[in-house]
Chain A
Amino acid sequence: MLLETVKLTKYFGGLAAVSDVDINVEEGEMVGIIGPNGAGKTTLFNLITGFLRPTKGRVEFGEKDIVGQKPHVIARMGIGRTFQLNPLFADFTVFQNVAASFYLHPKSSLLAAFFNLPTYHRNEAYVSVEALKILELLGLNKVKDELAKNLPQGYQKMLGIARALATNPKLLLLDEPLGGMSVGEIEFTMEIIKKIRDSGVTILLVEHNMQIMDIVDRVFVINFGRKIATGTIEELRENREVIAAYFGVEQDAASS
């Protein structure tokens, strides 16, 4: 098991944003988390990546409990993530955004960087080559010298994925990767996400757009901070609780 949460719970004051959530992700899988607005999906991501500290429960990554670790330490362990809002460094160019993300696993020390030593040069050269590869893969090479803040939203989302990918993660958490994208962009992004999975990165994603569910292996459904169902998308289509959460309870069906 690559990632496992055990009875993960987070209270904000008296409100349980996430309560007793058990999810697990196998290596190489692509797993989706769905649920209505405010169900606690982003909170769950923040708990896993250390941006929030759980009230109780465990998060195990590669059989190791990572609760209480700082976000940058968790990032170094190999969990990359994107953000729903504000997903990038606004005043950096697209290229700089991706290049900066390579600093997670630098091949030279900060001292070498300061003194401009050969190891630093080699690392910088390596970074530019690799960054361009990622930009090409995600179709961002045309805009690589634009400031990130000037990009349309779909491109910004894509850049968020590029940044996370540049950290070379074992597990990639995507927070609404299709949010704010046009129909054409959605198809392209789904292709990209499949490619990333096929390259051996495990993916856990949150999404409203049900199109994405066609390409995930398994789904967890969350509502009011609780896990209400799990399974493949076909299994969930039959699940009444899920239907109720998404479409409301049918009065006739409920009374009959």
Chain B
Amino acid sequence: MIYLATVVILAFLPIFVKSPYTYHILILTFVYITATSSLRTLAISGQVSMGHAAFMSIGAYTSAVLARYVGWSPWLTMPLGALATMLVAVLVGFPFSRVRTIYFSMVSLFFGIGILSINSIFGKYTGHINGMIGIPPLFIGSRIPYYFFFLALMVVCLIVLWRFETCRIGVCLKAIDQSREVAASIGISETKFRVLAMGVSCFVVGLVGAGYAHYNMVISYSSFNLSASINMLVYMLIGGIVSFAGPIIGTAVLFMIPEIFRQLKEYTPFLFAGILILVVFVMPQGVVGLFDQIRSLVNKKE
């Protein structure tokens, strides 16, 4: 219900809000909510990816290069970018699914660094360190169509990820997280489900990355480097790792904070670090957990 209400409010927002800057921030929020939620798809089986921004970059660069140098329509190249991301994810998913927890984080970290190096090898096309410019846009002119596009994209992706998590597939992934041995003893193939989760998660993040490229029209490494990956991780941790709403609320909250303290922009990492420490100590279940804590307090009083 709350989700539906939020979406309806967001859909009617353009009647009231006219500032293009607000739209810019909201669009980026939608992009990162989608990306962070895709991180959760891996997290439910206990895998914490530290290279998700790199997967995002595969979608972004694939789509950008195809649209700019081959001249295909962005509407075609975006799904292709997502498919390319998924393909890479499934290929690396087989070896990656053999490592777990911190080891998975490490291989995904190095994978991310590797992907960025590959980008720089093709610097002629990807624009070296300065970034790639002249990416064809999806819409000409106003930000409003982008706003609706990314809102719709986010809603569709979230529904897909929600289904994925709540149906049998999600149950199997959570089972693998709790005990690989017991999961195997009831016939759950760890490799199959982990690779499947990688594929779906990376398809979503690649798709949204591609969309981002055609919105921003300029992409550079700095959007997809390690700190971008870690930011996504922080969004998820702060929002709360235990529920589907966690990454959504965490991203929304943390996107708003730097905007409120805009003058202190260079101190944002410190702010994030402070919030993260606070969250770990005060609300170990994340912001979502805070709601539950309040609810149980209220119930106690009654």
Which residues of A line the B interface, CB within 8 A? 49, 51, 70-73, 75-76, 80-81, 83, 86-92, 96, 100-101, 103-106, 110, 113-116, 120, 163-164, 166-167
Contacts and interface: CB of A to CB of B under 8 A. Distances in A.
Interface of B: 163-164, 167-169, 171-172, 174-175, 178-179, 181-190, 196
A72 B168 CA distance: 17
Contact of B187 (A90, A114, A167): A167
Nearest to B188: A72
Contacts of B163: 114-116
Which of B182, B188, B189 has the largest count of A CB atoms less than 10 A from its CB? B182
Contacts of A96: 171
Contacts of B190: 72
A92 B185 contact: no
Contact of A113 (B167, B178, B184, B188): B167
Contact of A92 (B164, B169, B174, B181): B174
A81 B186 CA distance: 8
B165 to A, nearest CB: 10
B187 A92 contact: no
B227 to A, nearest CB: 32
B186 A70 contact: no
A235 to B, nearest CB: 33
A204 to B, nearest CB: 14
B169 A110 contact: yes
Contacts of A88: 179, 182
7 contacts: A70-B184, A75-B184, A90-B179, A100-B175, A114-B164, A120-B168, A166-B186
A100 B185 contact: no
B178 A75 contact: no
Contacts of B188: 72, 103
